[in-house]
Amino acid sequence: MTPSPATAAVRVRRAELSDLDDLVALEQATFDSDQVSRAQFRRHLDSDSARVLVASANHRRFLGTALVFFRKGSRVARLYSIASLPEARGKGVGTALIEAAEAAARQRRCQALRLEVRPDNDAAIRLYQRLGYHRFGPVVKGFYEDGADAYRYEKILK
Ligand SMILES: CC(C)(COP(=O)(O)OP(=O)(O)OC[C@H]1O[C@@H](n2cnc3c(N)ncnc32)[C@H](O)[C@@H]1OP(=O)(O)O)[C@@H](O)C(=O)NCCC(=O)NCCS
């Protein structure tokens, strides 16, 4: 896919220790439940079964993040979490993070990337659908810690 001018300036890299404060602050500001803790982020940074991605642009080191999980012996990767800074939304950060998550999954020879999303999260669902994700399976009842249901989406990686 050719990046639009808006997305061209966004770069995605692996998260480092120095990103921890930004990762935790964005997580706490974005999600009311199912938050990834500082200790969990810290473990994921070095884990073989996780990839923490960070989006940046010319003058901003940290614009958003995505967390991808891999399972040994599984060809399915899971996009566990994605968020961009509120002031950076609508500028291609989320798109760049998902594309990087897909690239990381392909690198690990995964054939699909899956994710869960709240049924009322219109912005995220629109984004996933635009990038080729399709809903599959039944609604997962009570998926989130606050009791909310989840839709499951999947993209077959080519
Ligand atoms: C979902 C989310 C990661 C998308 O990130 P983003 O950086 O806005 O992504 P993009 O800019 O690539 O695309 C966002 C879409 O919203 C549109 N948009 C325009 N202005 C926007 C704004 N101010 N805020 C949000 N979206 C906007 C974009 O044009 C784009 O539309 P499209 O998908 O129909 O083309 C972001 O909204 C977010 O962090 N939400 C809170 C956390 C969340 O819900 N995460 C997903 C569930 S785990």
Whole-prediction pTM value?
Answer: 0.92
User: What is the best residue among 33, 89, 122 to mutate for testing ligand 1's pocket, by most ligand atoms within 8 Å of CB?
Assistant: 89
Ligand 1 centroid to residue 72 C-alpha, Å: 31
Contact 56, 91 (CB under 8 A): no
Atom of ligand 1 nearest to the CA of 118: 47
Contact 77, 110 (CB under 8 A): yes
User: What are the structural domain ranges in the chain?
Assistant: 5-114
Which residues in the chain land under pLDDT 70?
1-8
CATH 3.40.630.30 corresponds to the domain 5-114: yes
Place of tokens 């073989």: 48
- Ligand 1 pocket, residues with Cβ under 6 angstroms: 30, 64, 81-84, 88-95, 117, 121, 123-124, 126-127, 130
Atom of ligand 1 nearest to the CA of 84: 39
CA distance 86 to 84: 6
Q: Closest Cα partner for 20 from 71, 61, 57?
A: 61
pLDDT in tens, 121-137: 999 999 999 999 999 99
- Residue 4's pLDDT is what? 45
Residue nearest to atom 38 of ligand 1 (CA): 83
- Residue 5's pLDDT is what? 42
- Residue 1's pLDDT is what? 42
- Residue 158's pLDDT is what? 84
